[in-house]
Structure 1
């Protein structure tokens, strides 16, 4: 995975599979702000959609794997991507749990309406 991708040689880019994974992760991590912007613009208020947290986790994970497993092995990059991954995972957990709690009263009301 640390060998240069020769098929990209014509472009002048010197990429390895790990670097491609790291760059994709960095792009995904940055693009999550575009998702948040679009969701907030549509709602006309600040909104953080669930996709934001999935992109945070995916982007952090990909960039973290680059810093852990490639020849780069940079402790700064590891810490820089490890901390946001925990925050995103916890926020995603809270979002899923909150949505389940919101659904439970609606489901209970539907069941009692059927009984009555």
Structure 2
């Protein structure tokens, strides 16, 4: 496997005209997870009839931030992207910790 594999376009996508490297795929997946957390929060709030933040919101925040952070550190080497994704990762991890500490590990299952 060549050393530059992560920056080489994915061959099986070439027929589509999309030129995407594994790093870019990781970055885009992270951005989709990070943005998609608001959809999860919207549907949870609709279901409960009030603003709520489900635990999946924090998991998606952490995973999305870490994936985007990895892309900006290793794939793009972009300090702006690193700073943009570094702080949300720690904030989401701390919020998840507080959620588990104050509401218990199985909170989402018991709230239905």
Give the TM-score normalised by structure 2.
0.87
- Segments of structure 1 that go 5 or more residues without pairing to the other structure are 104-116
- Equivalent residue in structure 1 for 2:53, among 48, 52, 62: 48
Q: How many residues align?
A: 101
- Segments of structure 2 that go 5 or more residues without pairing to the other structure are 1-5, 108-112
2:110 maps to which residue?
none
Q: CA RMSD in A?
A: 1.4
Runs of 4+ in 1 over 6 A off after TM superposition: none
2:85 maps to which residue?
81
Give the TM-score normalised by structure 1.
0.84
Deviation at 1:100, TM superposition (A): 3.0
Larger Rg: 1
More helix by share: 1
| 1:63-78 matched pairs, under 5 angstroms | 63-70=68-75, 72-78=76-82
